[in-house]
Structure 1
């Protein structure tokens, strides 16, 4: 299975990166891909759209590519607002129109799953980035629900080890010579926190390898998954006043605020989820994107759709699967990675250095904590600012 996943990931990641810059617009639930099988696929967007250059777009393009290649009916549905009720309404619309496979990207679908999966037992649900804590959040005292929700057999959830690619990005940035870093998270949900805490751990490890290195990380959440004037102003202060050199913009479209501020002073950014170099560099300045901390959304979608088509979903239903490293020899085969082509490799951190890092992480020589309860203890300076708004 690992070999199959590795081969699938290597192929699909390359295809998804090419598609990343697409600005294609379609009308939701109007112009589906006509299929020739009983399987029909609907993708529900969370609260963004299919041109967000992140979760929604990558998931949409992966679904569409697979369905077009295999003669399967496909369409996407966009909720009218950012609420569970609106997302549930779109699932109901998709089912009413005959779609029997529903793909949902993002933690916001946890409550949607609870409200719809039991109602539609004959519909197969694939959820990306919906984990146990999303389905069963802790109360104010840190206790789990008295009666936790159990994932039914018609639902599969995939979560990712974001702390690993976050670590890779932080390690690479410091090795490349950046000493004043910033982390701009979207909202402090588990996936974003894992990215951020991994980033801090990687920067700390790289600094330990450089005697005398004086590394600082400024750390904040925008409390949003899109950029705006307030967040841009905050980033202006980081780049222009504090002297931050590179910001890991981790939260969908929030990269726009970091990139706008960076463009004014020749600063740098690090992308997230997919290889964002093409979109960021073309819009804000060539060479702005140092690297991107990526996870395999497209490979997950295409692999799961192929397994559903093959009648193998029973092997996955009712499970929350954590996806991370599957190869120590081929970084491109992993579900968490840095882009080989667009990362700004140099003499201080080469592709061979990166491959050696991944191998050490895969074999356990390097370990990265996935604990999201507290900022990791480090020798470098980490300044936490909470939420911008």
Structure 2
């Protein structure tokens, strides 16, 4: 009986040991499975981002909706394709400086070597980013990096690129007078530097054309108005139509968003229009000024991708760089020819040619305008 009890106890102990071993094995398997599951879930949670070399960061606008962005994108894409570099456009979630900074940060973290931005709305974001991402090169179009306090600074990894819009205005004014128009109009934004630059070039171009044609004093009328905002009410359409009805012949603007209204008014009144860039086409646009940001960006990228690139400067482009051009409807303006256009473009290469700064429309006497009579209208 005693032997039987001992056998029973040994059997019981063996069973307990076996259960303990099995339980330890089960826990080990469960632990392994848990770790594997966490690793798999962790892998699923992270999106694999493809590295990119060139990035265009917008101000929240879609590329296709804005002529400047579309042109800049074309130049970036051309350079990327030719160089075998990956590129993309990034549209921020919102239109605040924080949104822009976050989008620039994402581009830098993807490996971007050059980030292209456009306009004064990006100035603050680029000011900080050029300091935070010293290995990234920044190309800022039509603006300079500016701090929150208003301090401007271009670091060695940043270039500011501007197209001299006064030259675009000069082309428009010269061609309009050469085409036979004698009553010109101009609308620009009062608080924007480009508003006065376009207007000054427009007036001086018209003056030069009138002088070349041998026209007399005050033979050209130039009506102008500066608006405080680019937004317009429907009633403004009627005001523009009235201007045409009172003798106005051809209208030019600084390319702000109200150009659509000008196009509609010109078509409704049967007047002529000088279109300024834009993705739209207007039936009554007999002349069109083009600012080729695509070529400007392409040329800038070629320089910025060089090892010996030196930033910290403002680069100005224009007619001689073939980044400002003029198109026209030959049927509508038969008096303006290719030969005249080539001769006009050649002027910009002359050493003694320059378009002075300032506002020739507000202060015409300071610019010695004689053939052009400038009138301010409300």
Gap change, CA 1:322 and 1:59, over 3 Å in 2: same
Aligned residue in 1 for 2:323: 335
In the alignment, is residue 301 of structure 1 matched against residue 303 of structure 2?
Answer: no
Q: Any conservation in 2 of the 1:226–1:256 contact (CA below 8 Å)?
A: no
Does residue 355 (structure 1) correspond to residue 342 (structure 2)? The answer is: yes
**Alignment partner, residue 250 of structure 1:** 254
Q: Which residue matches 2:222?
A: 217
For 2:39, the equivalent position in structure 1 comes to none
Judged with a 3 Å threshold, the aligned counterparts in structure 2 of structure 1 residues 188 and 206 are, in CA distance, closer, same or farther, namely farther
In structure 2, the residue matched to 1:237 is: 242
User: How many residue pairs are counted as aligned between the two chains?
Assistant: 324
Q: Is 1:188 paired with 2:188?
A: no
Corresponding residue to 1:264 among 246, 264, 268: 268
Aligned equivalents of 1:87 and 1:385: distance in 2? Answer: 39
Query: Paired residue for 1:6?
Result: none
Deviation track 1:131-171 (CA, whole Å, cap 9, x = no partner) reads: 5xx7499x9xxxxx7xx533101101111222122111101
Q: How far apart, CA to CA, are the structure 2 residues paired with 1:306 and 1:234?
A: 47
Aligned equivalents of 1:91 and 1:235: distance in 2?
Answer: 41
Counterpart for residue 355 of structure 2? 368
Q: Is the 8 A contact 2:97 2:122 kept in 1?
A: yes
Q: Map 1:315-334 onto structure 2 (within 5 A).
A: 315=310, 317-326=311-320, 333-334=321-322
**Alignment counterpart, residue 79 of structure 2, candidates 58, 66, 69:** 66
Contact 1:117 1:154 in 2 (8 A): yes
Distance (Å, rounded) in 1 between the aligned partners of 2:237 and 2:92: 27
1:245, 1:268 within 8 Å by CA — same for their partners in 2?
yes
Q: Which has the higher helix share?
A: 2
1:1-389 equivalences under 5 Å are: 40-46=53-59, 48-131=61-144, 135=146, 148-186=151-189, 188-208=191-211, 209-211=214-216, 214-225=219-230, 229=234, 231-240=236-245, 242-272=246-276, 274=277, 279-281=280-282, 285=283, 288-312=284-308, 314-315=309-310, 317-326=311-320, 333-339=321-327, 346-372=333-359, 375-377=363-365, 378-379=369-370, 380-385=372-377
Q: 1:24 — aligned with what? A: none
Task: Check 1:85–1:245 CA distance in 2 against 1; reply closer, same or farther (3 A cut).
Answer: farther
SS of 2:88 mapped into structure 1? strand
Q: Over aligned residues, Cα RMSD in angstroms?
A: 3.2
**Pair 171,193 (structure 1): closer, same or farther in 2 beyond 3 Å:** same
C-alpha change, 1:344 and 1:302, in structure 2 (3 Å) is farther
Larger Rg: 2
Question: Deviations for 1:6-58, whole angstroms, at most 9, x for unmatched residues?
Answer: xxxxxxxxxxxxxxxxxxxxxxxx9x9x7xxx761111223543223521221
